[in-house]
């Protein structure tokens, strides 16, 4: 049972998706596991297909992109900083015909660098790479995003 006053980070991310990025929520993007330096999200294939029966490219882009925000929520002081995406590139490897899981990590040294730089300069850029796999473990896409942690004004 989770403490209502301090819900698990994945619940916070899912609530934020519903409120701030409703299109991702309607796609069924769901943060499964979020902790300091790690985020994983899934999206179902049902309702997210394209004209030839595989997952629509924009859905894959979305489930990969939201990981930057999820990791930021878990790794940095959200009362002081917020994340934004500056650039994101995606490479499609195989058609996705099942649900997809996207995963990304930031190591502790990089988290510390970002936090220190953001505290000193009001912002800090960071690169986040994600791997998107189908339910059989086949890599269907990879993303590389340039994100920024920025101080609240």
Distance CA 70, CA 24 (A): 13
| Domains of the chain: residue spans and CATH | 9-151 (3.10.129.10)
What pLDDT score was predicted for residue 73?
A: 96
Three-state DSSP state, 21: coil
What pLDDT score was predicted for residue 7?
A: 76
Q: What is the pTM of this model?
A: 0.93
What pLDDT score was predicted for residue 153?
A: 87
Cβ-based neighbours of 67, under 8 Å, separated by 6 or more: 39, 40, 41, 102, 103, 104, 128, 130, 145
Chunked in runs of 10, what are the mean pLDDT values of the chain (153 residues)? Answer: 66 95 97 97 97 97 98 97 98 98 98 98 98 98 98 93
What pLDDT score was predicted for residue 144?
A: 98
What pLDDT score was predicted for residue 6?
A: 62
């Amino acid at each position: 049972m989770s403490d209502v006053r301090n819900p698990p980070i994945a619940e916070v991310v899912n609530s934020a998706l519903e409120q701030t990025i409703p299109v991702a929520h309607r796609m069924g993007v769901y943060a499964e596991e979020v902790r300091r330096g790690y985020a994983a999200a899934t999206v179902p294939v049902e309702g997210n297909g394209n004209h030839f029966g595989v997952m629509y490219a924009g859905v894959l882009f979305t489930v990969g992109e939201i990981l930057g925000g999820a990791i930021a929520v878990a790794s940095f002081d959200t009362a002081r900083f917020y994340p934004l995406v500056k650039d994101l590139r995606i490479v499609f490897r195989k058609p996705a015909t099942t649900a997809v899981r996207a995963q990304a990590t930031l190591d502790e040294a990089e988290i510390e660098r970002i936090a220190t730089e953001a505290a000193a300069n009001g912002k800090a850029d960071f690169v986040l790479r994600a791997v998107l796999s189908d339910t059989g473990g086949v890599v269907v896409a990879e993303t590389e995003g340039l994100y920024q942690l920025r101080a609240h004004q």
